[in-house]
Structure 1
Amino acid sequence: MLMDKETKNKIVISLLILVALVLIFLSMFVVDETQYKIVTLFGKPTRVVSEPGLYFKSPIHTTITLDKRLLLYNPVPKEYLTRDKKNVVVDNFVCWKIIDPLDFYATVMNVPKAETHLDDLVYSEVSAALGRYDLSSLVSSKPGEMKIEEIFQQITENCRRRAARDYSMQIASVKLKQLILPQQNKQSVFDRMRAERQRIAKQYRAEGEEEAMKIRAATDKETKTILSEAYRTAEIIKGEGDAEAIRIYGEAYGRNIRFYRLLRTLQAYQKFLNEKTTVVLSSGSELFKLLTQGQVKSITQGTNNDKSIAGKAAKAATKASADKDNLARK
């Protein structure tokens, strides 16, 4: 069936509208706030759009999207050689972003190629930096010998300068994720760390022994001082007591010599006589006369004051002896 002229016109108009819509769609592009858009004509950049919004271009132009955010690159861990000829495997990461989209596109074109350049750049700088330091600057039990922060700060500065100059990239930081020791180096590192710990332990033990000796010496000195002072005080008190007892005994002896002799005799008998003692006495002994003739009563009746003085002397002597014993126990 042949179509009439009006139907053909409608079809043509519809196709034109469809083509116009397609052209309009191809002419629009949206820029996100996290993106750069480079407009190119047959691969040659014509302009860069960095502000977010809706933009138009001719249908024959194309756009290339680049990320303006901070990007993270994780190189493959690589093996390096330190100044003392020790192998270490370094696993690091790089934070970077694009400075100038046009220069970046002209030099490296896209992010994968940029990461390839970053890999070469970081490898060369890390290799040069580690070659200036010994392994003890990377792995050590002494915090003062560790220089990892200093080393990677130098690496970051060198990479930042070269990347900005050659690739229009800004290196924010190059940081260490992990330091891996090859199997042949692990034992030597562990032995060195073990020896260091043993040295520190010996030092602590020596310091402890020295302090213990000081404490023991001070304690012994103080003990001797206290004992000597106590002995001196005890001897003074004993001497004073003995002097007081002698004075009282002398006073008692001077007042009644017969009573003093009697009292000393009774004290001597009291020390060796008890219920189990058998005594054989002659008729002329003082004790026999005392027991048979009853001289105690006549003597003691006239000497009450002398007995009181003798009692004081005995008490003074007893007190002096007790004070000496108490000081000795303290």
Structure 2
Amino acid sequence: MNNKQITVIVAIGILIAGFLALGPLYIVEEGEQVVVTRFGQIVTVKTDAGLKLKWPIIDKVHQYPQKILSWDGEQQRIPTAENQFIWVDTTARWKISDPERFYQRITTLTGAYGRLDDIIDSSVRAVIAENSIAEAVRSSNLINETKDEAAFIGDTGAVEGELGEEDSFRELMTMIAFDVQHDSIEKGRRQLSDLMMANAKDDVAEFGIELIDVVIRQIRYSDDLTEAVFNRMISERNQIAEAYRSYGDGRGRELLGQLERERETILSKAEAESQQIRAQADGEAARIYNEAYSQNIEFFEFWRALESYQRTLPNMDKTLSTDMEYFRYLYDSQGNR
């Protein structure tokens, strides 16, 4: 090999080393996609991972994620169809489905998040403003299927068992049943989320973005609406408490009346039994007196007179007599005057 050949080989090696030093190779990582541009024009799009080749200096490589990305929106204070303001916090998932269009319309991820902010926030405001607060908060009408007794008492059997008044208890449940009646919904929170995504999906597709879903992460009442809701809840609970007090007062009066009737019945029965016993005792006493009288009439009259003296004379300070029949045994033990 002569000097000329060596010189050529060295020159070629230097050119190759210089070419490689300028960076003609690039790597597409797993989960990435690449848009290669030359003088601002798209040359090629690579979506498969591996080692790729480009023209150094004049070609630029723009790397974008192929994976699903998350978008978190700012909380918005939005009026509902009833013109009641609520705070709505939403989130979404998206990905770059057309990297060529994405580069042409947006170019950067920062620009993509700005577009998503405008489009999704606008869709959220439009959907919330067209629907009632119940549609935004609830997902079903299951709450209207809750039993009144389960909502307020829990163990109705214990109350009914103690009082034995199922009709009165049912009447109380009717008085407070209003508390578990809620407006029925036709769409619900999940369907509103689907509407938000449907409204925004076509708009973001123009930028090479595929919107996977939009989810209402949190809804809370504004301060003025919160106070109104609390006041309504307090008013309803006060009505329920008043219904319980009224029910208790009525049951109390009913039980006291029942107690008084039972007391009168017991006393009347006892009085009748006592009168009967007294009559029997008087009859028995009369019978004994008659038997004693018939056995010794004079002694019976003498004994009756002594019993009478024993009851009346101690109460007399002075006794003046004109030969009364009552005191005949005081004049003579035989009762002769």
2:329 to 274, 280, 289: 289
Structure-2 residue corresponding to 1:159: 200
SS at match of 2:111: helix
Q: Is the 8 A contact 1:36 1:101 kept in 2?
A: no
Q: 1:77 to 1:223 in 2, by over 3 A?
A: closer
SS at match of 2:127: helix
After superposition, residues 20-35 of structure 1 pair within 5 angstroms as 21-22=20-21, 26-32=24-30, 35=31
Structure-1 residue corresponding to 2:212: 171
Structure-2 residue corresponding to 1:116: 114
The runs of 5 or more residues in structure 2 that have no matched partner are 139-178
1:66 maps onto 2:106 in alignment:
no
Q: CA deviation at 1:55?
A: 2.1
Q: CA deviation at 1:206?
A: 2.4
Q: TM-score, normalised by structure 1?
A: 0.64
Q: 1:138 to 1:17 in 2, by over 3 A?
A: closer
2:278 to 239, 242, 247: 242
Structure-2 residue corresponding to 1:255: 291
Q: CA deviation at 1:292?
A: 7.9
Structure-1 residue corresponding to 2:42: 44
Give the paired residue count: 281
The runs of 5 or more residues in structure 1 that have no matched partner are 296-330
1:224 maps onto 2:260 in alignment:
yes
1:280 to 310, 313, 319: 319
2:249 to 202, 213, 216: 213
SS at match of 2:54: coil
Q: 1:246 to 1:85 in 2, by over 3 A?
A: closer
* Distance of 2:200 and 2:324 partners within structure 1: 128
* Distance of 2:95 and 2:331 partners within structure 1: 128
SS at match of 2:64: strand
Q: Is the 8 A contact 2:135 2:189 kept in 1?
A: yes
Q: Is the 8 A contact 1:92 1:175 kept in 2?
A: yes
Q: Which of the pair has the greater relative contact order for Cα pairs under 8 Å at 6+ separation?
A: 2
* Distance of 2:263 and 2:108 partners within structure 1: 92
Q: 1:77 to 1:248 in 2, by over 3 A?
A: closer
Structure-2 residue corresponding to 1:129: 127
Q: 1:272 to 1:217 in 2, by over 3 A?
A: farther
Q: Is the 8 A contact 2:93 2:213 kept in 1?
A: yes
Q: Cα RMSD (Å) of the superposition?
A: 4.5
Instruction: Give 2:64's aligned amino acid.
Output: L
Identity, % of aligned pairs?
A: 17
Question: Which has the higher Rg, Structure 1 or Structure 2?
Answer: 1
Q: 1:262 to 1:18 in 2, by over 3 A?
A: farther
Deviations 1:75-125 (A, max 9, x none): 455554544556666554333223344444454333222223212211331
